[in-house]
Each structure stands twice: as structure tokens, then as C-alpha cells.
Structure 1
């Protein structure tokens, strides 16, 4: 395999990863609270070949003496974009839209018997029966929504007239006139590039990372709860721009075709050389 084929195959592998990310963005264009990812590329390490045995002939030269040959491109970063999506008025009391683009709800998931706290912008909540006389607040996928102490939010099954304040306090009235309250668990993201997609419109901390979670997230408790901003009766739409994603998709496809053509031409040239008698 010659160098042109190596460069093209390396780049095609990375373009496929970008294509997967664009496809995922487009597939979630109508998903509430979904945050897209954008890809940036960089060159792979170049190789230097010293083709000048006599350094005295290079005195006064301003450019590097070696021949630098690239080895392709790689995906440098897949960055989570936290820009605010458009708001959709629903009028439903358990629909909540976050107004600060860095803030997320906390949700408890269970993966292979292991509980894990994940984060979401989707405020499409509902109540699910729990036991005989209680209901628990869950997200659109049925996972329990956590309070500020990382506990499930549980109310009496006779709860009605739900109200959610701008700073995340949920209040329900019971049929006997009593009230129950809870504070929605919230975090503010400082370093979104450390979060990974966990599926079902959830984000989380990678299991393999050694990063301190406090360097990535800030728990919105105490006085910080005054900074929480949300709107009841609304949902945040995805921040995916379908037109831009289609343009990026076309550009990636053309780049992929270009690299594929480079491999085909290299193969043809090698065939001609091997065919010389």
C-alpha cells in the first residue's frame, strides 16, 4: 500500500465518525432539549525525511530542510453545543423549559443494575405510581427525577394542581387541602466537553475519566438556587439547525468520495506498474 492510500484510508475512517455525529444530530432535530455536537479536524502527525546529506548546501535556507509528508487528518474534538433552543408553549403544568443554557435537570438511571446520575434538558415530566399511596416524578423515559439532595421526588397519589416556580420549587396540592413541596435537582455545566451522551437524551460523566466531577459541574444548592431560571408550561426544542446539518452532510460526503477516489487511482497506478513486463 502506497502513501496516498494510507492517507486516504486514515481520513475516511475519521470522516465516518463525523458522518455518524451529523446523522445523530439530524435524527434528534425534534427531540426536546437535545444538544447537538460539532466536529473539528486536525492533521495527523507528519513524517520528516532528511533528503539533504550535505548541510552546508542549506546555509541561509529559511524553510525546514526536511521533506514533511502528512499521514491524513483526524477528528480533533466532538464538542457539545449548549446554545438555547426555541421554546414551545404547551400549557401542561408538568412541562418545564430551562432558560439558562448551562443548567440541567438531574435524573437517576439504572444501567445493568448500577444506579447513575445523568443530566438532561428535557423537562417533559409526569407522575408514575410507586407503591399503593405514592407517585414519583419521572422524565419522558420513565427515569426518576432527583431533588437537590439526589433523592427521588415522591408525593401522595392524591396530588393535584401542580406548580413549579422559576427557581425549581415544585408544589402540589392534595385533595384534603394540604401541600407538598420539593426542589428539583439542578446542576450548572462548566466544561460541557467532558460530558458524553448516554442515550435517551441524557448526558453523563464518562466512567473511564479521572476528572473531578466538581470541575465539570456545579450543584445548584443553597444560595445558587436563586440563579436557576425555568418556565412552567413550556418545553425547549432541539438546537439542531437542519439546514446547516444537511450542508455539513453534503460536504462530508464529497470529502469521503474524494478520499475514495484517491484510493481507486492509487490502486490503478499500482496495477499499471505491476503490469509492466
Structure 2
């Protein structure tokens, strides 16, 4: 296999990965709190051949001597883009939208039977009965994971309530049947200072790798912040995928794939011509 065929075939495999990324973005256009990913490329190793040994014949040359022969391109990074998505009005008491970049709700989920903390931008919350206290309800996500407060505890509220509201200071206030108002806590908001470390577990659920193994402290990656006006009630954050932009990227990537496919065909044709030569 000649060098042109190697470079084209390697690049085609990497372009397929970019097509997969674009397809994943487009499939989640309507996923609440979804954050798009963007693939970037870098050159693979190359070698320089046919160097000119007679320097006197290279007078006035501005480019490097010889010919650089590469082995294609690879995806350097599939970067997570955390731009704010559009706010969608729902007028539902248990729908909450974060209005700043790099902020996430903290939730508690079970993995292998053990509770672990995860991050999400999806503020579609529900109520479920507390198994340990039937007179209380607990706020959970659409997957049944528990929403945490700033102290790292689950957010509970009395079952006999009329309404839930979010104060201007970010406190969750519950109006009971007798008209009294009870403060049940404040959402735990985390600012991720190094968002490219986040691993996507599902469409809008993230986790961090072992920070200590990376030589980082928790404070280098995470910062707990007060809710304040950073969360609004009765709204949900839509996906930040721009379908027009993704369609443009899809067409461009398909064209690049076609060009490299044609390069493989041309290399094959040239090899056939060479093999068909007779002395």
C-alpha cells in the first residue's frame, strides 16, 4: 500500500468519528440541558524525503527542503461546548433552568449499589415518596436520581403542601395547606473550572475522573456557588445544538470523506497501471 493510500484511509476513519459526533449532536437537538461536542483535528507524524543535497541549487527557496509526506490526520479532541442553551417556558413548579455557563446541579445516583454524586444541567424534577418517612416527599430527576442541597443531603418537603417557589435568594420555599411557608433548602450548584475533564455518562449526566490521580486538588476543578439568580423556576434549558451549523459541518465532513475516498481509488488505479506494465 503506497503512502497516499495510507494517509487517505487513516483520515477516512477519523472523519467517520467526526460524523458520529455530529450525528449525536443532531439526535439530541431536543434533549433538555444537552451540550454539544465539537471534533478538532491534528496532523499525524510525517517524514521528509527527497532532500536536496546540493544547497547551491536551492537559492531563494522559502519552503523547507525536500517533500513532506504525512500519514493522515486524527481527531485531537472532542471538546465539550458549554454555551448557554435557549430557555423554554413551561410554567411548571418543578422545572428549573440554570442561566450561567459551567454550572451544574448536583445529584445522587446509584452505581453498583453505591451512592455517588453526579452533575447535570437538566432541571426537570419530580417528587417521590420518602421510603423512610411517608409524610415526606423527595425531589428527584426524571431518572429517579436524588437532587442534593448545598449540604450534600437530599431535598425533602412535607407531603401536605400547596405550592413550591424559588425565592430571589435561591431558597426553595414550600407553602403548606395551612398557609405557612417552609424553607426546605437550596440547590447545590457546582461550577466546573475544567469542563473538558467531564465524562458524559448519558445525554445530560456527567461525572469527573479521579482528580487526585491527575495531580489536581478538588478546588482546581470544582467550585460550589450560591443559587441566587443563577436558577429560574418555570423554565427549562434547551439543547445548545444549532441544527443549521451541524448540517453545515455534516456536509463539509462528507465532502472531505469523498475526497479521501477518491484518493484511495486513484491510488488503486495507479497501482493497477504500474502492475500492468510490460517490458
- Please say if residues 35 and 81 of structure 1, whose CA atoms lie closer than 8 Å, have aligned partners that are also in contact: yes
1:239-258 matched pairs, under 5 angstroms: 239-258=240-259
> How far apart are 1:59 and its partner, in Å?
7.5
SS of aligned partner of 1:12: helix
C-alpha displacement of 1:78: 1.8
CA distance 1:207–1:273, change in 2 (3 Å): farther
CA distance in 1, matches of 2:227, 2:181: 26
Alignment-derived partner of residue 157 in structure 2: 155
- Supply the distance in 1 between the matched residues of 2:169 and 2:19 (Cα, whole angstroms): 39
**Cα pair 1:46 1:68 within 8 Å, conserved:** yes
Structure 2 vs 1, CA of residues 268 and 97 (structure 1 numbering), >3 Å: closer, same or farther?
A: same
- Say whether 1:40 aligns with 2:40: yes
User: How big is the shift at 1:54?
Assistant: 4.9
1:15-41 CA-partner distances (Å, limit 9, x unpaired): 111111111111111111111112222
Instruction: Provide the residue aligned with 2:184 in structure 1.
Output: 181
2 CA distance for matches of 1:47 and 1:165?
63
When structure 1 is superposed on structure 2, of 19-28 and 38-47 the one drifting more is 38-47
Q: How many residues align?
A: 273
The separation in 2 between residues aligned to 1:216 and 1:46, in whole angstroms, is: 36
1:219 aligned partner: 224
Please give the residue correspondences for 1:19-168 in structure 2 after superposition, counting only pairs within 5 Å. 19-49=19-49, 51-54=51-54, 62-131=62-131, 132-168=134-170
TM superposition shift of 1:157: 2.8
Q: 1:204 to 1:228 in 2, by over 3 A?
A: farther
Contact 1:173 1:180 survives alignment (8 Å): no
Are the aligned partners of 2:170 and 2:228 in contact in 1 as well (CA < 8 Å)? Answer: no
Distance 1:81 1:166 in 2: 29
- Partner Cα separation in structure 2 for residue 168 and residue 227 of structure 1: 4
Residue 228 (structure 1) shift? 5.0
- With the length of structure 2 as denominator, give the TM-score of the two structures: 0.88
Q: Secondary structure at the match of 1:133?
A: strand
1:204 alignment counterpart: 207
Moved over 6 A (4+): none
Q: Where does residue 233 of structure 2 map in the other structure?
A: 232
The CA distance in 1 between the partners of 2:31 and 2:21, in whole Å, is 15
Give secondary structure in 2 for the equivalent of 1:182. strand
* Unmatched tracts of structure 2, length 5 or more: none
Q: In structure 1, the residue corresponding to 2:146 is in which secondary structure?
A: coil
TM-score normalised per structure 1: 0.88
**5+ long unaligned stretches in structure 1:** none
Q: Which moved more, 1:59-68 or 1:33-42?
A: 59-68
Cα shift readout 1:70-97 (whole Å, capped 9, x = no counterpart): 2211222222222212111111111111
Contact 2:187–2:227 at 8 Å: present in 1 too?
Answer: no
SS at match of 2:142: coil
2:276 equivalent to 1:275: yes
